[in-house]
Structure 1
Amino acid sequence: MIKWTMINMNLLLMFLMIMNNLIFKNNNNNNYNNITTYNRNMELYSIQSPFMKNMNIIKRRYHTSLNNNLIIVQKNNNEDNLKLNNLEINNFHKWLVGFTDGDGSFYMKGTERDLKFFYGFHLHKDDISCLEHIKNNLKLPNNINIRETSVQLTVTKKQWMNDNLLPIFDKYPCMNIKYYSYMKWKEGLMKSLNKVSSNKELMEYKTLINNYEIIKDMKIPYNHMNDHWILGFLEAEGSLTIESKRNSCKLFISQHEKSKKTLEAIKDYILNNWKPIDNTPMFIKNYLLNNWNNMIYLSKTNKCNVINLTTANMDFLYYVIIPKFNSMNWYSIKYNSFMNWQSIINIYMKGLHKVNNKDIMNYIEYTRNLNKKGINKINYNIELYNNIINNNKPLYNKNYPYRTNSIIHSKKSITGVGVFVYDLNNTLIMTFTSHVTAGTHFNCSKHEIAKYIKNGN
């Protein structure tokens, strides 16, 4: 049997603060799980330069700890450290396809007399390290072209692309509208190599490939969706944001409406295959699973014909998204943004933004514009972050969802009504934002919920 309570949020604050001290009086918040971790054997941010050799790069070893200790491992940027084993190279290939779907290109240039096939990337100069990884792991024959604000890596050798690229993209296919370009690009490349078509005939492929035209008789193989493709696509097309006024964070991927099905496939894959980590508090895990289908959502198409796939629930980010992305290898400068982003999420989840500490407020404000590049790039400050985490006791109770903790510790008058469900031992077991959501969960009307709260039966 359970007992219900429904009260105005103003009264709820006082009530829950009392309950907070009773329910988990044996809880030791010093052991609050620190999800913010170092990713296994990946760079924190690019500190390599084509003009500097034998530099040390920061690496990190992945772990999930129950304390606040983090690990830094430094290694030399030599050839041995860049070699991957078979499993890692397969995962890299999956990542590469996702990254190519976002930032890579298959295209043709030239005239009937001199028609060339291209595959490559044109990125911000901060991502030179990413191109170095791609070049080394694929053993690309071409050098990186370094410009004032950008870097470019392209390959035009047809036989090399036939022998090295086609096996990768045939095994792990593209999964947005770039799939159509690749298939026609491949078809043209094969005809050119086998000399079964003239350049004049192949010129027809050029327009089709370069304009990303949808080919009706081809279906994108979304059933090949995988974790590493999603990470690669996120590194190219994803955005990580911090909303300091709302004390929340968000992750979203934007695509043209032509690729709406790609976003739907990502959403379905995550909801069907990703789960909260094992040490997620039971109350929070139940809350997540009961609301699972609402954790990721698609926006409406905007006036620019763009759609966003978004996840903004802090518990979902903390116990599902961050651990998953920390278990994989990142290769682009986006990892620097990710480390900044997850450090802020960890601060929010512990409630440290509610502590009267200027260092914490300055850190949040400093990190807020985490997607800047070049001279304005916000480098991840591990020393400052460690100082905040190690010298401030968590304010929030790790057993409560983020929103519940926010309500308990809110200094503002919160309007509205909430439904909170307790067991007979006065342990909070679930929360709802309204009569309607509570009624939906318990398969009854909102009026029955209101009646039960008022009369107790």
Structure 2
Amino acid sequence: MTLAPTKINNKNSVYIRKVHTNIKKIDTPFLEWLTGFVDAGGNFNISLRNYSSQDNKYNSLILTFQIGLNLDDLEVLKFIQKKLGCGKISISKNKCNFFVNDQASLINIIVPVFNFVPLKSSKYFQFLIFEKAVTLIKSKGHLTDRGRNEMIKFYHEIKNPSIYLKASPALSPINKYWLGGFVDGDGSFSAHLNRPVFKFENHVKELPLFKAIVNYFQFGNINTYKTRNNSSQVVTIEFNNIHFLKNVIVSLFTRIKLLNSKNLKDFNYFCILVDIYYYGYHTIPEGKSLAIEITSNWNNFRFSTYKTPFIDFKKKYQILSNIPSPFVIKDGGLRFYRNTLNLVSDKIRITAIDHLNNVAIFSSISECSRILQIDRATIKKYLLNGQIYKNYRFKFNNFIYFDRKEG
């Protein structure tokens, strides 16, 4: 079956017309998700059969777009295959692979899709080389001596990671659907010392992309380090601020269906762990015990090879939540110990406004105290009562607001 050229609607959809079939609509949110997923774990490959570097010749070539996953994520590949209307899936032991290598699908579906929604990672450059190779095949240029030499050039370029380190991706704006795909492929919902952590980790060549993620959230710090064997450098973003996790990450990923992989199961446990710490249940034996139980079983239930009976952590948390929470949330996000006026020792940002309406923002009460030479207890007192002290009015600036409207 041959494919007619892809028709693109720049407002909200890509339409793919197959001969003898109706027009199939692929919604843009899926394509944004797919782009994020491919940025995390997809590949564009040029394979030259019987290539001889000495003679600079090859017998035949195969161009392949592929995504490889653990077998437990087979349903995700079926989801992608159904949405795109092309490609095949192979299974080997505990691995599954979605791949597209027929010329019609590469020309009419894969290349138009990633031109319509550009990749944002170093895969962008890989795709540009791949697109040139597809275009060469489309024009039959690969059948000429000059075209064969061009294909060999593309073959070497696409396998050379150094090309990605010499340039920055042409990043288009990140949105929530792209983020969902990237989280499915590269993000992790986990814990450190039983405390919830949301994390990204990748090769340092993705530093521009990680900066874009931090800019999207207007929150987070980027770190780089070398692996143990010093073979490569890694870039990470780690979010462990409980207010950010509760009010941004949990809120975002529960409000809209953004996750499609087995990461969704991790996220469901993550939400429970966030609530345990946000409401202070980790300070009582029952909550601490449940947090330990969740983190000790974190990855087990999402793998089919794990045979231990399923534990319903949602039900266990419902029982736990019948106990009055140790922390009470007031004033849009401030946490107090129950039945007291004592603030939970969060890292609270403070805004100080003087009598001339000059505004100074401090990262903590301690920093405010040190710079303004006012003791911490006094600052806390006037933060709570809202009165003026030494020409300063103090306000909490701890509320993390995130409600970006996206088309």
TM-score above 0.5: yes
User: Cα deviation per residue 1:281-331 (whole Å; 9 max; x = unaligned)?
Assistant: xxxxxxxxxxxxxx4111133354111112211011101111112213311
| Matched-pair contact (CA < 8 Å) for 1:180–1:212 | no
Given the superposition, is the C-alpha separation of residues 253 and 118 from structure 1 closer, same or farther in structure 2, using an over 3 Å criterion?
same
Shift in Å at residue 216 of structure 1? 8.7
Q: C-alpha displacement at 1:402, in angstroms?
A: 8.2
Q: How far apart, CA to CA, are the structure 1 residues paired with 2:87 and 2:162?
A: 30
Q: Which residue of 1 aligns with 2:312?
A: 381
Moved more, 214-223 or 328-337: 214-223
Q: How does 1:45-444 map to 2 (within 5 A)?
A: 89-111=27-49, 112-142=58-88, 144-197=89-142, 198-214=147-163, 220-245=169-194, 248-271=195-218, 295-303=219-227, 304-326=232-254, 327-357=256-286, 360-369=287-296, 370-372=298-300, 373-376=303-306, 381=312, 384-385=315-316, 387-388=318-319, 391-399=322-330, 405=336, 433-438=364-369
Equivalent residue, structure 1, for 2:52: none
Counterpart code for 1:131: L
Once the two structures are superposed, what CA deviation does each residue of 1:78-101 show, in whole Å capped at 9, x if it has no partner?
xxxxxxx96x82101001011001
1:92-149 Cα deviation digits (max 9, x unpaired): 100101100111111111322121000111111110111111111111242x212221
Alpha-carbon distance in structure 1 between the residues aligned to 2:234 and 2:149: 36
SS of structure 1 residue aligned to 2:238: strand
* Contact 1:108 1:115 survives alignment (8 Å): yes
Q: Which moved more, 1:234-243 or 1:398-407?
A: 398-407
Q: Are the equivalent residues in 2 in contact too, given 1:126–1:333 (CA < 8 A)? A: yes
Distance 1:235 1:191 in 2: 33
Matched to 1:205, the amino acid is F
Query: For residues 102 and 421 of structure 1, do their structure 2 counterparts lie closer, same or farther at Cα, with a shift above 3 Å needed?
Result: closer
SS at 1:299 equivalent: strand
| Secondary structure class of the residue paired with 1:154 | strand
Q: Quote the offset at 1:226 in angstroms.
A: 1.6
The structural deviation recorded for 1:180 is: 0.6
Q: State how far apart, in whole Å, the 2-side matches of 1:450 and 1:141 are.
A: 63
**Structure 1 residue 210, shift from structure 2 partner:** 2.6
Identity of aligned residues (%): 18
CA contact under 8 A between 1:371 and 1:377: conserved in structure 2? no
Q: Distance in 2 between matches of 1:216 and 1:240?
A: 28
What is the SS of the residue equivalent to 1:223?
A: coil
Match of 1:17 in 2: none
Q: Tell me how far 1:399 sits from its aligned partner.
A: 1.7
Contact 2:165 2:205 in 1 (8 A): no
The corresponding residue for 2:355 is none
Alignment CA distance shift 1:382-1:407 (3 Å): closer
Residue 361 of structure 1 deviates from its aligned partner by 4.2
Partner of 2:330: helix, strand, or coil? coil
How far does residue 222 in structure 1 lie from its aligned partner after superposition? 1.4
Amino acid at match of 1:89: D
Contact 2:36 2:179 in 1 (8 A): yes
Name the aligned partner's letter for residue 331 of structure 1: N
Secondary structure of the residue that 1:368 maps to in structure 2? helix
Q: CA RMSD in A?
A: 3.6
Stretch deviating more after TM superposition (159-168 or 192-201): 192-201
> Could you tell me whether the CA contact under 8 Å between 2:87 and 2:98 is conserved in 1?
no
The alpha-carbon distance between structure 1 residues 109 and 329, as it changes in their structure 2 partners (threshold 3 A), is same
**Structure 2: how far apart are the matches of 1:350 and 1:431?**
25
CA contact (8 A) 2:118 2:124 kept: yes
Q: CA deviation at 1:235?
A: 1.3
**Mapped contact 2:181–2:258 kept (Cα < 8 A):** no
TM-score where L is the length of structure 2: 0.70
> Where in structure 2 are there 5+ consecutive unaligned residues?
1-23, 50-57, 353-360, 382-388, 391-407
Residue 351 of structure 1: CA displacement? Answer: 2.0
**CA 134–432 in structure 1, closer or farther in 2 if over 3 Å, else same:** closer
**Corresponding residue SS for 1:208:** helix
Per-residue CA shift, 1:369-426, capped at 9, x if unaligned? 42354424996735534533553332210227989547999xxxx9xx999999xxxx
Partner secondary structure for residue 331 of structure 1: coil
Distance 1:420 1:183 in 2: 47
* Number of residue pairs the alignment of both structures matches: 326
Q: For 1:383 and 1:432, locate their aligned partners in 2 and report how far apart those are by CA, in whole Å.
A: 35
**CA–CA distance in structure 2, aligned partners of residues 252 and 311 of structure 1:** 6
Distance 1:355 1:118 in 2: 54
Q: Which residue of 1 aligns with 2:373?
A: 447
- Residues of 1 paired with 2:164 and 2:74: CA distance? 34
Task: Give the CA deviation at 1:432.
Answer: 6.8
8 A contact 1:349–1:402 mirrored in 2:
no
1:340, 1:100 → 2: CA distance?
25
Q: How far apart, CA to CA, are the structure 2 residues paired with 1:451 and 1:320?
A: 30
Name which structure has the greater RCO, CA cutoff 8 Å, separation 6+. 1
- Whether the aligned pair in 2 keeps the contact of 1:343 and 1:385 (CA below 8 Å) is no
Deviation at 1:159, TM superposition (A): 1.5
After superposition, the Cα gap between the structure-2 partners of 1:383 and 1:341, relative to the gap in structure 1 and judged at 3 Å, is closer
Give 1:170 deviation, angstroms: 0.5
